[in-house]
Structure 1
Amino acid sequence: MATAAPLVPEPDDMDCSVCHEQYVQPKLLPCGHLLCHHCLLSWLQSQDQALCPLCRCAIVDPNERGQKSWQDVADGFPTDLAMADLVGAHRLLKQSHSCICEEAAATCLCLTCGDLFCESCRKIHLKQKIARNHAVEDLTSLTADKVAESQHAACAVHADKTAELFCPTHGESICLLCATSRHRSCPEVKDIEEKVKDALAVLAELAVTLTEGEARLDKAIQQLDDHLAETEKQTKKAVAEIEAVCARLEKSVQDCRHRLNELAHSACSDVKEAVTETKTCLQQRRGKLTSHKHVVQRVQEAKNRNTVSTMTPVMQTRVGNLDCSVILPSGAKVVSKVTVVIDAEAVTRIEKELSGLGQAKVISADLDFGLVPVLSFHDNHGKNIVLSNNKQTAERRGRGWDGGIVVASQPMVTNMLYEVIVDKRDALWRGWIWTGATTTPPDALTLPPHANGWPSAVVISNNSVNVNGGHTLKTNVGQNLANLHEKSRVGVMLDKKRSLHLYINVDDQGEAAPSLPDPCFAFFDLCGPYRQVTALPVRHIP
């Protein structure tokens, strides 16, 4: 049996960052990165902190650690089925292939039926009436994307059957057999193509939201980069000014040093001149004494008595006229010492002034990031609510209708949609999510057991709008609140006139109440069948 060589190299973006192999059941982390299911589990078990190995973001909220086993945590993350399909298609293309005839190497793949053919079998296949419109592609030109795109949806129960329908109640793709048996009582089984169309519309909106978010964050990051550059420029300017001031001060110190040195040298020079003058005078007197001493000594040594007799009176007179004292002359200028007095107080004052010279003045930057607020829930919530996912996921524990209110942490901004997506819903219960806006900040709220009749809020139900627990407006704005399912979206928005609107699955259901005061805080009351919701990115509504 002939075989063909692998067709394409393995792309790096299909590799798990832990095992460095292609993904096996890739799990989507809160940060958006992927890990194989078994790699995620082993990573969580081996780390002191549950952080993503790529970006170091928290995989698990620290407040939730210990509440679930690592196995439950790993199982709880969604599987990136799109990546799984790409990896499966890529592995298919990497393998050696043989034709279904088992006589030759396969050269093409029928994307319609999934069979591999050699050239001879390809021709035979396309001649068959049932396969004349099949898409048959050469293996050398096929990509993993194209193979993954051609794969048909399989039934969740019967993997060998094509899923033609989708059950929103169970969130499963199903075949016709399952629709008439296991899902016969499910109320809204729909054609899978219709479900895909709806899903693609939602994905398109999500892509727009993410693209707009990226653009806003890019703008903010660019502003911060510009701010850093401006700060660096200001730093260089400040350093240059400091250097100029210090150079000026150093010059003043050098001038002061030069002046004081000159003062000291000048004062000492006067002293040296006076002392030298007096010394010269004394040296002259000593010279006279020495000269006359030599004459006296010669007379003493003379042998001629007449010389001794004659010179003695002469020398006696001469020596008597000489000044042999050490008394300074009356005009001598001799200074006892030189003292240069430095003003110690002035030095201390200058040192103190220098130590306090200049200060760094910080002015808050006026940066306009244009960032939208983030919907997260306040810690003041219903008694049966447990928050997770950075306070963006709210789960109601226990049964009953009470204790399920969650309130947004930040006040509403006009023309911004605050919405949640339903994560969990009990199909056996009936009821609806209550939503609306409260005019009391959440840290000052005393929450009622449930939103019906809330005295400080506009409460939207399925058939009415209640204002501050009193006036009730009969309206059909919230009529679709009773038809929410898992993955449904519900939210509220204040228009530019501060009128409150209800949105369901991104569709404006109409105005619920006019002219709300500032501030207002969006709220959601999980009651009846609704067990868990997650906040979606806040969207601008033009």
Structure 2
Amino acid sequence: MATAAPPVPEPNDMDCSVCHEQYVQPKLLPCGHLLCHHCLLSWLQSQDQALCPLCRCAIMDPEERGQKSWQDVADGFPTDLAMADLVVAHRLLKQSHSCCMCEEAAASCLCLTCGDLFCETCRKLHLKQKMARNHTVEDLTSLTADKVAGSQHAACAVHGDKTTELFCPTHGESICQLCATSRHRSCPEVKDMQDKVKDARAVLAELAVTLTEGEARLDKAIQQLDTHMAETEKQTKKAVAEIEAVCARLEKSVQDCRHRLNALAHSACSDVKEAVTETKTCMLHRRGMLTSHKHVVQRVQEAKNCDTVSTMTPVMQTRVGNLDCSATLPSGAKVVSKVTVVIDAEAVTRIEKELSVLGQTKVMSADLDFGPVTAFCFHDNHGKNIVLSNNKQAAERRGSGNNGGIVVASQPMMTNMLYEVILDRRVAAIIDYLWTGATTTPPEALTLPSAAGGWPSAVVINDSSVVVNGRQMVKSNVGRKLFNLPEKSRVGVMLDKKRSLHLYINGDDQGEAAPSLPDPCFTFFDILGPYRQITALPVRRIP
């Protein structure tokens, strides 16, 4: 597969991010960034944590340092020789040089074959020499750093005036012809440097393809995440709009209820006010009549004429006797009563409670396909007879007895992804079992049982049944093939889109073991029987 040549760094790309000068012995960090050797050493000595100054990735694990000094640590990182060559070539092109032959005129060209600088006159003389007729000489103004760096030939470490044309695989050294006939005469094989370079370039081409494909996968994953984020934003706006619409409806209902209750209260009070007003009017009229007759009685009482007093007295007796001097309600008057608007407190409380729990979020697994996934690893919380290795992807059972062999995945399961292990080793003549399943408790919070058979908060698949939460045993043929599996068998579990748990043996679906498991779930494996090792395989998507 053809790959494009990597871009040649611009001058600014040749500057160290610490000293801001061109690299001197550039050291390659684990994250891929470069630092000058002396800058790396100074940086490591001045920092509490060994982090890259550009991306803050760990330069090294403190446990890996051991008793090493910072000098040894800095020396241990590989030197980017390609960048070092480019820096040297760039400096060469930027400097002013004299012709190597006449030593008077300024150099205007460089012989890429022998590395000498010439003025224009000496250039012609150089190319007329028999040994230099096939040399490539180019103007300094047209040369680039990468071209100069590519033309340089490594000098032999022993014979400095000789170039390395051969490679000794036995000693891993680039050597000259003289070394091959002297120091390396007894070596079984000495390869031509061009063959070595050809092999190295083939390896580099494969590495470039691997990195390019990795970049493509990550670009695809990032694009999917961006799409997922955009979809999430869209769903958020839609959800907010729906919430606003629902709340607007609820607010309208509350306003309508407020207006209705207010109208009800005003209406009820209006009837009372009308009755009170009518009764009051009747009583005011009655009081007016009493007041008028009182004034008449007072005038008669104060009259001087005896005939007037004697004549009016019986008249007023009759008139006052016919008047109603009581404070009783007049006949036919409306009954006056108090009106109270009763609010159902229980109904209000119920509505408030229902409003507080109104709505819910439903989380669905995103249908993202990031391509190949690396193997999952086991958590440090495991059975007492388990030893983890290979970056916690291999679990070996040691010790006697059938208990203490549980290992749990450190990552939660994703839907439609197969979490699979391979049975690396078993002991002949010993009947081995392998139980598997899923637990709903994160591994760091688990109290592991000695064996998975009666495990609460877990679905355990064995060769004859499915045990749910340590109590419910369902007779099932799903795990019938788990009995006495041969070496190199593959066993795995998968959650489908409905979060039902499936068992897989050697890539074949054995059927559904348990439906509707909650999120999160963590797969586990219980190694029953001594001296067996399992290794986690790359997680892969099941269509």
Q: Give 2:490's match in structure 1, choosing from 518, 522, 531.
A: 518
Q: Match of 1:48, as an amino acid?
A: D
Q: Judging changes above 3 Å, is the alpha-carbon distance between structure 1 residues 184 and 446 closer, same or farther for their aligned structure 2 residues?
A: farther
Question: Matches of 2:16 and 2:287 in 1, distance apart?
Answer: 108
Question: Matches of 1:359 and 1:386 in 2, distance apart?
Answer: 42
How far does residue 57 in structure 1 lie from its aligned partner after superposition? 1.7
| CA-atom RMSD in angstroms | 3.5
SS across alignment from 1:12: helix
Provide the residue aligned with 2:516 in structure 1: none
Counterpart contact for 2:14–2:23, Cα < 8 Å: yes
Provide the residue aligned with 2:321 in structure 1: 320
Alignment of 1:244-259 (within 5 A): 244-259=245-260
The question of 1:281 aligning with 2:282 is answered yes
The answer for unaligned runs of 5 or more in structure 2 is 1-8, 394-409, 412-420, 433-486, 493-505, 507-537
With normalisation by structure 2, the TM-score equals: 0.67
Residue deviations 1:249-305, cap 9 Å, x none? 222222222221111111111111111111111111122222223333444555555
Counterpart contact for 1:156–1:172, Cα < 8 Å: no
How far does residue 55 in structure 1 lie from its aligned partner after superposition? 1.6
Residue deviations 1:505-531, cap 9 Å, x none? xxxxxxxxxx9643599xxxxxxxxxx
Q: Judging changes above 3 Å, is the alpha-carbon distance between structure 1 residues 279 and 377 closer, same or farther for their aligned structure 2 residues?
A: closer
SS across alignment from 1:68: coil
SS across alignment from 1:160: coil
How far does residue 22 in structure 1 lie from its aligned partner after superposition? 0.9
SS across alignment from 1:314: helix
How far does residue 319 in structure 1 lie from its aligned partner after superposition? 2.6
Question: Matches of 1:167 and 1:374 in 2, distance apart?
Answer: 38
Counterpart contact for 2:110–2:139, Cα < 8 Å: yes
Question: Matches of 2:244 and 2:376 in 1, distance apart?
Answer: 49
Q: Judging changes above 3 Å, is the alpha-carbon distance between structure 1 residues 376 and 136 closer, same or farther for their aligned structure 2 residues?
A: farther
The question of 1:351 aligning with 2:352 is answered yes
Q: Judging changes above 3 Å, is the alpha-carbon distance between structure 1 residues 336 and 372 closer, same or farther for their aligned structure 2 residues?
A: closer
Question: Matches of 1:342 and 1:23 in 2, distance apart?
Answer: 82
Provide the residue aligned with 1:367 in structure 2: 368
Counterpart contact for 1:217–1:371, Cα < 8 Å: no
Q: Match of 1:276, as an amino acid?
A: T
Question: Matches of 2:51 and 2:379 in 1, distance apart?
Answer: 25
Q: Match of 1:323, as an amino acid?
A: D
The question of 1:440 aligning with 2:412 is answered no
Q: Judging changes above 3 Å, is the alpha-carbon distance between structure 1 residues 133 and 44 closer, same or farther for their aligned structure 2 residues?
A: same
Q: Judging changes above 3 Å, is the alpha-carbon distance between structure 1 residues 274 and 377 closer, same or farther for their aligned structure 2 residues?
A: closer
Residue deviations 1:478-507, cap 9 Å, x none? xxxxxxxxxxxxxxxxxxxxxxxxxxxxxx
Question: Matches of 2:309 and 2:96 in 1, distance apart?
Answer: 147
Question: Matches of 1:193 and 1:111 in 2, distance apart?
Answer: 18
Provide the residue aligned with 1:13 in structure 2: 13
Provide the residue aligned with 2:154 in structure 1: 153
Alignment of 1:113-128 (within 5 A): 113-128=114-129
Alignment of 1:262-411 (within 5 A): 262-300=263-301, 302=303, 306-373=307-374
SS across alignment from 1:140: coil
Counterpart contact for 1:99–1:118, Cα < 8 Å: yes
Provide the residue aligned with 1:464 in structure 2: none
Residue deviations 1:134-190, cap 9 Å, x none? 211111111111110111122233443200111223322111232233333333321
Question: Matches of 1:180 and 1:158 in 2, distance apart?
Answer: 13
Provide the residue aligned with 2:83 in structure 1: 83
Q: Judging changes above 3 Å, is the alpha-carbon distance between structure 1 residues 185 and 300 closer, same or farther for their aligned structure 2 residues?
A: farther
The question of 1:110 aligning with 2:111 is answered yes
How far does residue 24 in structure 1 lie from its aligned partner after superposition? 0.8
Question: Matches of 1:319 and 1:51 in 2, distance apart?
Answer: 114
SS across alignment from 2:423: coil
SS across alignment from 2:214: helix
Q: Match of 1:440, as an amino acid?
A: L
How far does residue 447 in structure 1 lie from its aligned partner after superposition? 11
| More divergent stretch after superposition (301-310 vs 183-192) | 301-310
Counterpart contact for 2:111–2:138, Cα < 8 Å: yes
How far does residue 374 in structure 1 lie from its aligned partner after superposition? 6.0
Question: Matches of 1:92 and 1:114 in 2, distance apart?
Answer: 11
Provide the residue aligned with 1:73 in structure 2: 73
Q: Judging changes above 3 Å, is the alpha-carbon distance between structure 1 residues 386 and 518 closer, same or farther for their aligned structure 2 residues?
A: closer
Q: Match of 2:178, as an amino acid?
A: L
Provide the residue aligned with 1:99 in structure 2: 99
Q: Match of 1:518, as an amino acid?
A: R
Question: Matches of 1:332 and 1:138 in 2, distance apart?
Answer: 125
Provide the residue aligned with 2:32 in structure 1: 32
How far does residue 439 in structure 1 lie from its aligned partner after superposition? 4.4
Alignment of 1:481-520 (within 5 A): 517-518=489-490
| More divergent stretch after superposition (13-22 vs 81-90) | 13-22
Q: Judging changes above 3 Å, is the alpha-carbon distance between structure 1 residues 165 and 125 closer, same or farther for their aligned structure 2 residues?
A: same
Question: Matches of 2:375 and 2:141 in 1, distance apart?
Answer: 47
Provide the residue aligned with 2:182 in structure 1: 181
How far does residue 307 in structure 1 lie from its aligned partner after superposition? 4.2
SS across alignment from 1:141: coil
Question: Matches of 1:163 and 1:52 in 2, distance apart?
Answer: 36
SS across alignment from 2:68: coil
Provide the residue aligned with 1:58 in structure 2: 58
Residue deviations 1:362-385, cap 9 Å, x none? 1112222112536999999xxxx9
| More divergent stretch after superposition (267-276 vs 159-168) | 159-168
Residue deviations 1:308-329, cap 9 Å, x none? 4444443333233222221222
Provide the residue aligned with 1:461 in structure 2: none
Question: Matches of 2:220 and 2:422 in 1, distance apart?
Answer: 32
Question: Matches of 1:10 and 1:320 in 2, distance apart?
Answer: 126
Q: Judging changes above 3 Å, is the alpha-carbon distance between structure 1 residues 278 and 377 closer, same or farther for their aligned structure 2 residues?
A: closer
Counterpart contact for 1:18–1:39, Cα < 8 Å: yes
Counterpart contact for 1:220–1:369, Cα < 8 Å: yes
Question: Matches of 2:338 and 2:55 in 1, distance apart?
Answer: 78
Identical positions, percent: 85
SS across alignment from 2:291: helix
Counterpart contact for 1:154–1:173, Cα < 8 Å: no
Question: Matches of 1:313 and 1:109 in 2, distance apart?
Answer: 155
Provide the residue aligned with 1:487 in structure 2: none
Counterpart contact for 2:423–2:489, Cα < 8 Å: no
Question: Matches of 1:41 and 1:447 in 2, distance apart?
Answer: 51
Provide the residue aligned with 1:198 in structure 2: 199
Q: Judging changes above 3 Å, is the alpha-carbon distance between structure 1 residues 21 and 447 closer, same or farther for their aligned structure 2 residues?
A: farther
